[in-house]
Structure 1
Amino acid sequence: MKTTRLTRGIQPILAILACLLVIGIPLYLLVITSFKSDAEAQVPDLSLPTTWHIAENYGRAISDGDVLGGLFGSLLVTVPSVFGVLVLGSAASWVLARRSSKLMGLLYSVGISGIILPPAVVTMVLTLQSLGLDGTALGMIGVYMGMFMATAIFFTTGFVRNIPVELEEAARIDGASPFKVYVRIVLPLLRPVIATAAILVTLSVWNEVFYAFFVLSGSGASTLPLNLFNVASQSEYVKNWNLIFAYVVLMSIPMVVTFIIAQRRIVAGVTAGAVK
């Protein structure tokens, strides 16, 4: 009995220590290095800076990395992409979950195949060029919607199957159209899973740089990760980890705030569903 209680008491402590080791130390290294001078940041370590260069480093990161322009570009691409993925993905999941046939099973398999089958870069770029969308935010939005639609479909379809069909049937008896059934009955019940999908898709789109490099490189549009890549590739910034880490901190702040807000909504949505 004592051994069981001791084990239960140790497990939370071990979990906290593991989180501090895996997350806390790298995060501390990132932040503390962004406060150091160029000379001290040549070889990043856990020591405190001899002289603090907070305003200087973050000011140079904002100006040299075009943080404000990259922030506008990231928002311009991320917000419509996430909104489109959630709206179209949840609607498609409702249809796929409510209709049981071989065709729907095939469409579901095709819909979630994007999780393990990334788009081919060459084909994607050539398609955008033929449509006149290469180097544009609209083309980047289309790419991201195609890439992460599978995530929304995968998460939402299983959740829809657990919603009682009787709710939808009662609405149809009252004369509600399929659109009204989806908007007024199904969509409000999907809030917890939509919040979860929104976090995953937002983080993925916000931090993505590989496809943005091929689609937006050389154009006037840009994003925060793409600006970071361009700045870090310059010879004068190769070993200036303090400036690179300062840019990473600035780039991460919006996502940290978004994650905290969305996480609270997930807990609230799950709790409300359990009470009902």
Structure 2
Amino acid sequence: MKATSPGRPGLSDSKIWTRLQPVFTPLLTLVVIGVPLWLVVATAGKSRGEALQPDLSLPSKWQLWDNLKAVWTDGGIPAGFFGSLLVVIPSVIGVLIVGSMAAWILARRASKLTAALYALAISGIVLPPAVVTLVLLLRQLGLAGSAVGMIGVYMGIYLSTVIFFVTGFVRTIPASLEEAAQIDGAGPVKVFVRVVLPLLRPVLATATILVCLYVWNDVFYAFFVVGGRLETLPLNLFQVASAGLYLNNWHLIFAYVILMSLPLVVVFAIAQRKIISGITSGAVK
């Protein structure tokens, strides 16, 4: 019998792990994702008395539809939904356009200055913005409490994320494609729009989902920048829960969370393949 070297797993261990991996991975995914998801759905389907202590038990009688209707009527879902769209759509479009153009330049220019600018551009991923300074600046500009100010804040915060993903992806695109377009007489804008931008669809899909996820669920910056002057879904949930409307009404709070999460779930389900492709091509390469 052939002995294995110390510190290295034997062949039998490798075979065991190979056989267990197809079972272990879905089971771990089910626990990490399925348990919290079931907690939300089960609690949202209970009565107020049963939901006082949220747990994984089944409701004695499902009231999910009634709870969803109550939240839709009393929780300001339509106004919060359109308020969230008013902020999310311009923020995402703006940060994708500016970030992809900046990333293209940073990926194609090889110099010490460009490297320093790239490091500065992605530093926003790890350096949180100063909220007090941000609010004071918006007040000086007359943008505090407005959707325009909120859009500018989100673009500034998540521009680093877009630049990080898109720069890595652009470096995988052959520069000869752009040179061929330039030989045909295309200027920088036409090269970017006609050649580069169509190739960025996978990574832009990834960035879109990430930025949408952050902005759609944000309550921290929205609370300080717009306060109660603009209704968004997470801000509405925070306000009604803290005001006492949903106090101890966990069944309504979780029903609100379900309605608030549905648009992102639909978008993610549609774009999941491009998201995975964008992450592997943009971040790893």
Scaled by the length of structure 2, the TM-score of the pair is: 0.90
Alpha-carbon shift at residue 236 of structure 1 (Å) = 4.4
The residue type paired with residue 189 of structure 1 is: L
Residues 67 and 103 of structure 1: is their aligned pair in 2 closer, same or farther, counting only changes over 3 Å?
same
- How many Å apart are 1:35 and its aligned residue? 0.7
Give the whole-Å Cα distance in 1 for the aligned partners of 2:231 and 2:253. 17
Distance verdict in 2 for CA 1:269–1:236, change over 3 Å: closer
For 1:2 and 1:109, the matched residues in 2 are separated by 46
State the Cα distance separating 1:265 from its structure 2 match: 3.7
Q: Which AA in structure 2 matches 1:52?
A: W
Deviation at 1:250, TM superposition (A): 0.3
* Residue 231 in structure 1 maps to residue 240 in structure 2: yes
> Which stretch of the first structure deviates more once superposed, 117-126 or 140-149?
117-126
Helix, strand or coil: the match of 1:237?
Answer: coil
Question: Within the alignment, does 1:241 sit opposite 2:259 as a pair?
Answer: no
Give the Cα–Cα distance (whole angstroms) in 2 for the partners of residues 231 and 182 of structure 1.
46
Aligned partner of 2:181 among 139, 146, 171: 171
Determine the structure 2 residue equivalent to 1:159: 169
Q: What are the Cα deviations for residues 235-265 of structure 1, in whole angstroms up to 9, with x where unaligned? A: 3423111000000000000000011111134
Aligned to 1:49: 59
Once residues 85 and 245 of structure 2 are traced to their aligned partners in structure 1, the CA distance between those partners, rounded to angstroms, is 28
Which SS does the other structure have where 2:231 is aligned?
A: coil
Aligned to 2:270: 261
Residue 267 of structure 1, CA deviation: 6.1
Establish whether residue 251 from structure 1 lines up as the match of residue 264 from structure 2: no
| Structure 1 letter corresponding to 2:149 | G
Displacement of 1:205 in angstroms is: 0.8
What does 1:161-200 correspond to in 2, within 5 Å?
161-200=171-210
- Shift of residue 9, structure 1, vs aligned partner: 2.5
Instruction: Give the ranges of 4+ consecutive aligned residues of structure 1 lying more than 4 Å apart after TM superposition.
Output: 1-6, 266-270
Deviation at 1:40, TM superposition (A): 0.3
User: Per-residue deviation at 1:3?
Assistant: 6.0
Residue matched to 2:86? 76
1:10 aligned onto 2:17 = no
Give the partner amino acid of 2:268: F
- CA displacement at 1:5 relative to structure 2: 4.6
Hey, what does 1:89 align to over in structure 2? Answer: 99
Structure 1 position 22, deviation (Å): 0.9
CA–CA distance in structure 2, aligned partners of residues 112 and 149 of structure 1: 8
From 205, 218, 240, give the equivalent of 1:208: 218
Answer whether contact 1:34 1:245 (CA < 8 A) is retained: yes
Letter in 1 for 2:148: L
What one-letter code is carried by the residue in structure 1 that aligns with 2:220? F
How big is the alpha-carbon RMSD for the aligned residues of Structure 1 and Structure 2? 1.8
Corresponding residue pairs, total: 270
Aligned sequence identity (%) = 60
Q: Deviations over 1:18-57 (max 9, x none)?
A: 1111110110010011010000000011111112222321
Given the two structures, how large is their TM-score scaled by the length of structure 1? 0.93
Q: Distance in 2 between matches of 1:91 and 1:258?
A: 24
Aligned to 2:6: none
Measure how far apart 1:6 and its partner are.
4.2
Any conservation in 2 of the 1:111–1:150 contact (CA below 8 Å)? yes
